[in-house]
Amino acid sequence: PSALAQSQARAHQEQLTKPAGALGELEQLVIRLAGLQGRAQPCIDQCHISIFAADHGIAAAGVSAYPQAVTAQMVANFAAGGAAVSVLARLVGARFDVVNLGTLHRPDPDPRVLDRWLGPGTADFSQQAAMTVEQRDAALLAGAERLAQAQAAGCDLFVAGEMGIGNTSAATALGAVLLERDPEQLAGPGTGIDAQSLGRKVALIRQAIQLHGAGRPDVLEWLRCLGGFEIAAMVGAYLHAGQRGVPVLVDGFISTLAALLAVRLNPALAPWLLYGHCSAEPGHRLLLQALEARPLLALGMRLGEGSGAALALQVVRSACALHNEMATFAGAGVAGPGA
């Protein structure tokens, strides 16, 4: 981040026709974005949203309200423009792609979906490691590749979304490990399971953490044992964003868990991550706290797909428009305070 652009943006804010600080968090946001984009007048001309989709072996254990087939069905729905994030991407004029990293069945070729299929979903992490080393590394690379492509196409802000029946279980397991908390403190209803299924979800996660913890895994090994292809892809995209200097708007619970993994792997990434919203999934708040993140919105959403970030993008754009288009005291002939 550029300290010069940031201080120029701060000085510009003080000249705008409003009481100092009256735009609240929008002022801090645009000043921070100025530093990230290295220009005193930041803007989001082109936002890129990549949706990473994959299935999870743990879903067979009944931790989700929906069957695994929904992952592939939703991949088609994203591509056809009918999913929530598809609608929001259109509304905000964001570029949008969908990456299939491993649905239960290998999909037929579809020109609207990027095929990076690594297998029929992960293995059931309550029994064995979710991924092989090769799968994990290929998923990390697939994410980094999307970021690089988006940047090459001129993206000012990157959003990673996800879809994967069972992935709140994987994210809860990884979150519990990283935050050193009992899974019960993070576990939530995901797509909407009842209390009994929630109890089973927590028990399976506890068991899995014990199983894999015996090998004293590091962060990348935990990701392999408990994660998902789409989670690894998001980690790869975020890490690459930090290296390439592309600001990221993080979405909900799963995205924030991927952000925490990425920041643990490279703490220098942290300044590049902005946070779009706080979801209703109970673990999200804990992850945000650990990242010292202040999300822009809190609307009780719990959908993932990048939907919360796509909504928050409108706040980021508004902050930029205000910064770049408002008149200054001098320009508008408005007296300043105490004048």
Q: Which residues are catalytic?
A: 305
Nearest to 55 by CA among 74, 73, 68: 68
- Measured from the CB atom, the residue of 27 and 97 that comes closer to a second copy is 27
**218-241 burial, b if ≥16 CB within 10 A, otherwise e?**
ebbebbbbbbbbbbbbbbbbbbbb
For 96, list phi and psi in degrees, rounded to 5: -155, 130
DSSP state of 333: T
CB of 143 to a second copy, least distance (A): 24
Q: How far is residue 112's CA from residue 208's CA, in Å, rounded to a whole number?
A: 36
Our CB check for a second copy shows the closer of 13 and 126 to be 13
Please name the residues in contact with 278: beta carbons below 8 A apart, sequence gap of 6 or more.
284, 285, 288, 295, 297, 298
d(CA 269, CA 330): 38
Q: How far is the CB of 242 from a second copy (least distance, A)?
A: 26
Residue type, 120: P
Handedness of CA 214, 172, 135, 123 (dihedral sign): positive
Binding region for a second copy (CB under 8 A): 16-26, 65-67, 69-70, 73-74, 76-77, 80-84, 87-88, 90-91, 190-192, 280, 296-303, 307, 311, 314-315, 317-318, 321-322, 325-327, 331-339
**Cβ at position 179, least distance to a second copy in Å:** 24
Task: Name the residue nearer to a second copy (CB basis): 243 or 314.
Answer: 314
Are 274 and 247 within 8 A, CB to CB?
A: yes
Q: How far apart are CA 232 and CA 318, in angstroms?
A: 32
Nearest approach, Cβ of 250 to a second copy (angstroms)?
17
Nearer to a second copy, 224 or 323 (CB): 323
| Rounded least distance, CB 297 to a second copy, Å | 7
Cβ nearer to a second copy, comparing 135 with 307:
307
CB of 322 to a second copy, least distance (A): 5
What's the CA gap between 86 and 261, in Å, rounded?
27
Q: Return the structure tokens found at 14.
A: 């003080």
* Cβ-based nearer residue to a second copy, 143 or 252: 252
